[in-house]
Structure 1
Amino acid sequence: MKQVPIVDWLQRLPGGMMLVPLILGSVTGTFFPGFLGLGSFTTALFKNSALPLIGLLILATGAQINARQSTGVFKRCGVLLLTKTFIPAVIIILYGNIFGREGILGVSLLAAMIAFTNSNGGLWLALTGQYGTDEDRGAYIASGLNDGPFFILLALGLSGHANVPWQAIVGTVIPFIVGFVLGNLDKKFAEMMKPTAAITIPFFAFALGTGINLQNLVTGGVTGVLLGIGVTLVTGFLCFAGYRLFIRNSNPGIGFAAGTTAGNSITSVLVVVQADPSYAPFQAVATAQVAAAVLVTAILCPLMTHYMCKRYDAAHPPQEQRA
């Protein structure tokens, strides 16, 4: 039987494993809602699986974080969390204070907070493998920590922009802690959980898509492009500046490799709405906007990283860097 390289096609498209099933889920939910209501395993897997699978992915992410990292790795991790998560969160809180939850140009506070405050760990590993050092690659830990709803719920709750009960915040971090503890106690557990993302992402992406009307997907996609451009330029520059100020033995251009929105961040929209249902009116468009930002940053970020790393190398020859 002739083989169809479906997985290869999806992997060639930036964020394809998340975006394509999301769009297919949106098509199914818009035109074939009866299929999703068949019941039994069909409804459980294709419509109601998002939250359980997201919880499993968060646990698997925690299992990959190694507590025995070098000082240089933790220093870089701290710089990235400061410049990619904490400072952007403050900026978006100010955005919400000025423009309200609705935001401007159709970009809600919910979509902006989620798109700006997390990073794509896969792209970080790929780009640091080409332009960075081993310690830069180890700073993937930052993506493991911010690639989820915990910091988003914390920022929205503490700023007063969401009524987030403490149980919801604790509930998002417990699977991560369980995975972290088990992964560090038993390396075989961490190895066992490695394929979790590849297995779960297409299925919970489809389930998320079933709640998005195609009209919202198109509308949100247009504004999501602008959102993605802003994410790469603003957070990429902040991380570049953080590297320039605090990291001396790496090319600071690599900071732009964190100017991304992770595919998993699409799930955070649902988690925030579950924690504070008053954000429900923004859910459909925000999901589409974040999905568009994932794709745009996956394309723009490598271009900016290449340009900034080469430019810095030209201004600082290797001999000067070694000195």
Structure 2
Amino acid sequence: MVNDAQKPRRTFRVPLFDGMNKVPGGLMLIPLILGSIFGTFFMPALEIGSFTTALFVDSALPLIALLIFATGTQVTLRSTGPVLAHAGTILLMKSLVPAALVILLGLWVGLDGVLGVSILAILVIFDNSNGGLWLAFTGRYGDYRDRGAYMASAVNDGPFISLLFLGVSGLADIPLLALVAAILPFILGMLVGNLDEKWKNVMVPVPNIVIPFFAFALGTGINLNSVVTGGAQGLIIGLIAAPFTGFLVYLGYKFLLRRGGKSGLGFAAGATAGNAIATPAVVAQIDPTFAPYVEAATAQVAAAALVTAIIAPLIASLVLKRAGELEPAADVAAAEASTATEAPEEPDGTRGRSAL
């Protein structure tokens, strides 16, 4: 008879990580939504200071910077050409082409736009990309070329493209130092990864570690009240912008970059960044002509940022799945396999899983 001491020890496990990964883009999307809920209704609980506030409210930029550095370590000197080609394609198809089309619409209908959505709001929603979501999605399903293409967001993640296409580019000069600061972690990562291959291997698991945390912190900056205020107008524009601009990037991936089945990654670029919410006010400060549109545009951009963050990775996942390419990237799969192999063995001979 087997006594209690000899019985295999059973562990209780809630598959939080695996559960998030079953949702397309879930590693970023679910924490982002949770963050927006906490930021809207329970923000004081996150602002008690010390490590709590540092991790759950203020961590987005440093953690994204770490992810950018880790991405740089995966890029060899021989692969910089493909990375720049991918970044250029995203910038062209996600920002320059849509912005040109919106300006043409503005010349036809005027600054008031259509259906109560100003040209300012439409332009900001269409020409801005969510670099964090792109890194999160390609961090799992893409390779070093896709992840390195986040550099496009150093240009379009903010007011620069909007101001340029609104005809006030002379007032929209972005300091060169700001662009250098956005790209420097990536360049330093490249340097370290090329000097020491072990650093390259050490940095492989970074996306799975940092993405949920910076996504939650970004979510705390999206006030659901603003999303509701933006109403159906912002949601409708977001529902149009995500598949339309994502499709343009998909075309770039398919015909310019010739990525075949992986071209579906392009749809993940269709999301509007959360910090685009501040762009209408910045534009109005530089050109007061747009001041009357700022309040409504800000709410509409907030609504669009949330809905595009949901549907862009969903569309990308569906297209990748249809092409048979919805599989973790080789380096991600290898890292997860290594983690599973190194897990401690349980008394019943199975590999252990972390208990919660």
Offset at residue 158 of structure 1 (A): 4.0
Distance 1:51 1:70 in 2: 24
Residues 1:286 and 2:262 aligned together: no
Structure 2, unpaired ranges of 5+:
1-10, 287-293, 325-356
**Could you say which residue in structure 2 is the equivalent of 1:260?**
268
C-alpha contact (below 8 Å) 1:53/1:200 kept by paired residues:
yes
Which 10-residue stretch deviates more, 297-306 or 112-121? 112-121
Offset at residue 47 of structure 1 (A): 1.9
Residues 1:145 and 2:155 aligned together: no
Offset at residue 305 of structure 1 (A): 6.1
Relative to structure 1, the CA distance from residue 89 to residue 109 in structure 2 (aligned partners, 3 Å threshold; closer, same or farther) is closer
C-alpha contact (below 8 Å) 1:61/1:144 kept by paired residues:
no
Which amino acid is 1:140 matched to?
D
C-alpha contact (below 8 Å) 1:79/1:242 kept by paired residues:
yes
Residues 1:296 and 2:307 aligned together: no
2:161 corresponds, among 155, 158, 162, to 155
Residues 1:214 and 2:224 aligned together: yes
**Could you say which residue in structure 2 is the equivalent of 1:18?**
28
Residues 1:65 and 2:75 aligned together: yes
**Could you say which residue in structure 2 is the equivalent of 1:111?**
125
Distance 2:303 2:317 in 1: 22
Offset at residue 156 of structure 1 (A): 3.8
Which 10-residue stretch deviates more, 39-48 or 227-236? 227-236
Relative to structure 1, the CA distance from residue 230 to residue 182 in structure 2 (aligned partners, 3 Å threshold; closer, same or farther) is same
Which amino acid is 1:259 matched to?
F
What secondary structure does 2:31 align onto?
helix
Which amino acid is 2:268 matched to?
T
Relative to structure 1, the CA distance from residue 73 to residue 155 in structure 2 (aligned partners, 3 Å threshold; closer, same or farther) is closer
Offset at residue 43 of structure 1 (A): 1.7
C-alpha contact (below 8 Å) 2:126/2:241 kept by paired residues:
no
Relative to structure 1, the CA distance from residue 189 to residue 7 in structure 2 (aligned partners, 3 Å threshold; closer, same or farther) is same
C-alpha contact (below 8 Å) 2:86/2:145 kept by paired residues:
yes
Offset at residue 172 of structure 1 (A): 1.8
**Could you say which residue in structure 1 is the equivalent of 2:327?**
none
Which amino acid is 1:112 matched to?
F
Distance 2:283 2:206 in 1: 28
Rg comparison, structure with higher value: 2
Relative to structure 1, the CA distance from residue 270 to residue 57 in structure 2 (aligned partners, 3 Å threshold; closer, same or farther) is farther
Q: How many residues align?
A: 296
Which 10-residue stretch deviates more, 4-13 or 16-25? 16-25
What secondary structure does 1:3 align onto?
coil
Which 10-residue stretch deviates more, 24-33 or 254-263? 254-263
Which amino acid is 2:276 matched to?
V
Distance 2:280 2:73 in 1: 26
Listed as ranges, the matches of 1:234-273 within 5 Å are 234-237=245-248, 239-240=250-251, 243-244=254-255, 251=260, 255-261=263-269, 266=273, 268-269=275-276
**Could you say which residue in structure 1 is the equivalent of 2:3?**
none
**Could you say which residue in structure 2 is the equivalent of 1:174?**
184
1:70-92: per-residue Cα shift (whole Å, max 9, x none)? 97887677555543454335445
Residues 1:88 and 2:88 aligned together: no
Which amino acid is 2:307 matched to?
A
Which amino acid is 2:52 matched to?
T
C-alpha contact (below 8 Å) 2:25/2:136 kept by paired residues:
no
Distance 1:169 1:297 in 2: 26
**Could you say which residue in structure 1 is the equivalent of 2:4?**
none
Distance 1:173 1:304 in 2: 30
Distance 1:65 1:274 in 2: 37
Q: TM-score, normalised by structure 2?
A: 0.63
1:284-318: per-residue Cα shift (whole Å, max 9, x none)? 653442232132122223445677x79xxxxxxxx
- Identity, % of aligned pairs? 30
2:202 corresponds, among 192, 203, 206, to 192
Which amino acid is 2:242 matched to?
V
Structure 1, unpaired ranges of 5+:
129-136, 311-323
1:41 corresponds, among 32, 41, 51, to 51
C-alpha contact (below 8 Å) 1:45/1:207 kept by paired residues:
yes
Q: TM-score, normalised by structure 1?
A: 0.68
C-alpha contact (below 8 Å) 1:261/1:293 kept by paired residues:
no
Distance 2:84 2:285 in 1: 37
C-alpha contact (below 8 Å) 1:114/1:290 kept by paired residues:
no
**Could you say which residue in structure 2 is the equivalent of 1:31?**
41
C-alpha contact (below 8 Å) 1:273/1:283 kept by paired residues:
yes
Relative to structure 1, the CA distance from residue 27 to residue 272 in structure 2 (aligned partners, 3 Å threshold; closer, same or farther) is same
Relative to structure 1, the CA distance from residue 34 to residue 79 in structure 2 (aligned partners, 3 Å threshold; closer, same or farther) is closer
Which amino acid is 2:244 matched to?
L
